Amino acid sequence: MQYFINYYTDDEKMILFLPVMMLSFVITIFMSIHIIRSWNSEDKSTSKKINEIIYTIMALAFGIYYPFIILKLGGSKKGIFFGTAIDELTLLGNLFIFGVMMGIAAWGVSAKIRTIRNPELLKEQNNYEFFCKKFLEEYPERSKMQRRITHILPGATVTLIIVLFSFLQGLLGDSWSSYALFFIVIIGIDFAFTFIAQDLIRLFDFSYMPPSAVKMCKAGLTSDELDTFSSTSVMVFSFGPFIFLTFPIFFIVLLITSVSDAMASIIGIKTGERKHCFPKSTDKCIEGYLAGFGFTFICTIFGVLFSNFFGLTNWSIELALFLAIILSIVFVLIDIITSKVKLQDNYLNPLITGIVFILVLISLNISIF
């Protein structure tokens, strides 16, 4: 098997990246078609149009830089079963990203066949207007809370994967962190592509929606997203560029976006009528800002200590405290800005936080790679 993989030249190996790249490009095409055909809709605000364009660009960007993730993480490392780590990561990507999405596509086709055989399903179960009506009836504060709790999952998932793969150092050697990061990429992209697929089914033809996938579809939506893409997937794509940098940058940006943002919203929701809105014409509140500041501070300190513990960096606690203060202030500023400018903080938060993070490190002459 090792001989079979090594038989290919470097140029020919690039072809092996194509399944995932082409999947990303096809998804981008369908997203673009939706944008074009709904552009003149009276119900769609300018901010939604901008968000949709940015979501599409980020999905396209992933398809372009995906091979470079593999080349960066694989490097010149040896593989376990094949000749190089690059060969193994390429195979894993094709199996667990392209392969999984082909399975989901087959699942959607099976749902379509069911509606063809039983047209009665199109009246309610596979009727999007009926879905929207039921969704709005069942979207109380509790649903908002549940969605925010699931917002924390990316941070918990990355933490767990790093811990688990650290136990495999005996098998993987110095490559353990590269394999861990690539599994994080696989899980994240499967998650993002799955929600994008659901979005496209919702917006194009709901007869392809499997009944058992409806609950997942509801979990990733807000009442403002019924005519547009869910912001759930874009959060994952916004982490992508930071995978090329040193681990604590990627990890801290991810923690702030997933945990701090979720906790700020949860505190705001829990405060209820007692909250002090700021700006007054928005639903953002001072209590939420304080929670966001506090959890951003905690996430930054935890991110540095966690990375140090697993040998992924050697930053000092003084640096961690300095970064925690800067990033906490940035988080609050982004939250205030997005309360007035109706752009999604699911991509603004990681991108702006990450850029400020990088600039601070560069100004301190600390390597970002």
Would you say the C-alpha torsion 226, 232, 233, 235 has a positive or negative sign?
positive
Q: What is the pLDDT of residue 5?
A: 46
Q: What is the pLDDT of residue 13?
A: 64
- Could you tell me the two tokens for 142? 């509790």
pLDDT in tens, the chain (369 residues): 444 445 455 566 678 899 999 999 999 999 999 999 999 988 888 989 999 999 999 999 999 999 999 999 998 888 888 888 998 999 999 999 999 999 999 999 999 999 999 999 999 889 999 999 988 887 765 566 667 777 888 999 999 999 999 999 988 898 999 999 999 999 999 999 999 999 999 999 999 999 888 888 887 788 889 999 988 888 899 999 999 999 999 999 999 999 998 898 888 877 866 777 777 777 788 888 999 999 999 999 999 999 999 999 999 999 999 999 999 999 999 988 887 777 788 888 999 999 999 999 999 999 999
Cis status, amide bond into 279, omega within 30 of 0: yes
- Could you tell me the two tokens for 49? 């149009």
Within 10 angstroms of residue 45's Cβ, the number of other Cβ atoms is 12
Q: How far is CA 35 from CA 28, 127, 208, 255, in A?
A: 11, 22, 20, 31
Within 10 angstroms of residue 3's Cβ, the number of other Cβ atoms is 8
H/E element holding 200?
Answer: helix 176-204
Task: Kindly report whether the global pTM for this prediction surpasses the value 0.75.
Answer: yes
What residues pair up with 84 in beta bridges, in sequence order? 78
Describe the crossing of helices 317-340 and 286-309 by its angle, rounded to 10 degrees.
140
Q: What is the pLDDT of residue 144?
A: 65
* 3-state DSSP assignment of residue 315: coil
Q: What is the DSSP letter of 78?
A: B
Sequence letter at residue 43:
D
- Could you tell me the two tokens for 39? 């552009």
Domain ranges of the chain: 1-237, 245-369
CA distance 28 to 78: 34
CA distance 107 to 109: 5
Residue 84: φ, ψ to 5°? -135, 160
Q: What is the pLDDT of residue 217?
A: 82
